[in-house]
Amino acid sequence: MSELRYNYLWDTWSVVAPERERRPHDFPPHTYPSKSDPSKCPFEPGKEYLAPHEIFALREPGTAPDTPGWRVRVVPNKYPAFRIENPNTRYRVGIYDAAGGFGAHEVVIDTPDHFKHPHNFTVEEMRDLLFVYRERVRSLYGDSRIKYVLVFKNYGREAGASLTHSHSQIIATPQIPKLVDTVVSQSRKFFREKGRCYLCDEIGYELNETVRVVYENERFLVYCPFASIVPFQMRLTPKFHQSDFSKVSDSDLYLMADALRMALRKLYKTLVNPPYNFFIHTAPPVRPFPEKPDYFSGIDQFFHWYLEIVPRVTVQAGFELGSGYIINPTTPETAARFLREVLL
Ligand SMILES: [Zn+2]
Ligand SMILES: [Zn+2]
């Protein structure tokens, strides 16, 4: 029997349709990344001149910017969707509203190794990558015109990656994106009604139920959300309350790296190298908001950051686009069981 499930944080409904129950072998194996040629890759060490000047890098002592010796490197996107130089203004176009494309669009080159991807990173390599995410969020939040910073990754062509060399992206926007705004207002609503953080409750419930748990260590939990919109969706979140990803401590970064690495290894093994996206939802930085003076009040208590992994193994069709409901042919309980039990 299919079931409609409510995703409280995103205020959306998914239709979990187990009549069509699709198991891992029902999804075609992916060959991505295909054999690509490092000699044509702009992210190779020694080819730093092919990308714009680096913004930030983790490098060996004594090496200069824009030269080899880096472990993770951040450069401006060559084809940015948002730019710091663009006007941060809103204006009218006839009867319509529009805004200048102010913001920032950065590319994080996750590794100097053309053939290495996060599922085969060491914990130290994953920690380095998360460290760079954290530093960039901190730095961009320092610009008061920036209202939100989204860290995300596209892996595989179907997930939007145009280059095979492992990279992530960071987009800073002059507005709080709609989905993040929904998470803020839903979390605030729950906190005002119950006096507790929504995700802290959800985490407690999932740890107790165990059926949707994929992996946990002392500080982080990975589970398949109850109202997952796609098969094998996973949420990684601190088991303790924390609103702002940019405040993760160095020791927690290491444990977060362990959890993310395990989640991606399990996904790789279970679905045989599927394309996926992940993104981080963290509390937006406190900014003046004259129309909603209470917007940020208590946000560090009611907002709980998380990283969402969304495999791209299904296609959203007319019903999804037209209704906003999303049909998920694999129950999160089945997905979690496969992910939990897969041998690495
Ligand atoms: Zn490369
Ligand atoms: Zn919490």
Sequence ranges of the domains in the chain: 3-341
| Structure tokens that stand for 177 in this block | 């994106």
- Checking if the pLDDT of 33 tops 90, the result is no
Which has the closest alpha carbon to 264: 155, 186, 150? 155
Residues 246-299 have pLDDT tens digits of: 999 999 999 999 999 999 999 999 999 999 999 999 999 999 999 999 999 999
Distance CA 71, CA 77 (A): 18
Per-residue confidence band for 24, with pLDDT thresholds at 50, 70 and 90: confident
Q: In which band, very low, low, confident or very high, does the pLDDT at 22 lie, cut at 50, 70 and 90? A: confident
What is the rounded average pLDDT of the residues 120-130?
98
Q: Which residues are part of the catalytic machinery? A: 167
* pLDDT the model gives residue 165: 95
Which whole number is the average pLDDT over 117-132?
97
Is-contact 170 149, C-beta < 8 A?
yes
Distance 45 CA to ligand 1 centre (A): 8
Closest ligand by atom to 197 CA: 2
Give 26's pLDDT tier (boundaries 50, 70, 90). Answer: confident
How close is the Cα of 114 to the center of ligand 1, in Å? 4
Cα–Cα nearest to 263, from 128, 271, 203:
271
Q: How confident is the model at residue 27 (pLDDT cuts 50, 70, 90)?
A: confident
Mean pLDDT within 86-110: 94
pLDDT at 77 over 80: yes
Kindly tell me if the per-residue pLDDT of 145 is higher than 90: yes
Residue 21 gets the label, from left (phi > 0), alpha (psi -120 to 50) or beta, of beta
How far is the C-alpha of 302 from the C-alpha of 148, rounded, in Å?
Answer: 17
| pLDDT at residue 336 is higher than 80 | yes
CA atoms of 189 and 153, how far apart (whole Å): 30
Strand, helix or coil for residue 85: coil
Fold of 3-341: HIT family, subunit A (3.30.428)
Spatial distance between the Cα atoms of 184 and 164, rounded to a whole number of angstroms: 34
Mean per-residue pLDDT of the chain: 94
Is 80 exceeded by the pLDDT of residue 328? Answer: yes
**E strands, the chain, where?**
3-7, 12-16, 56-59, 70-76, 90-93, 96-99, 104-109, 148-155, 167-173, 213-216, 220-223, 234-238, 276-281, 306-311, 326-328
CA of residue 106 to ligand 2 center, whole Å? 29
The answer on pLDDT for 20 being more than 70 is no
**What pLDDT was estimated at residue 21?**
72
At residue 39, the 3 state secondary structure works out as: helix
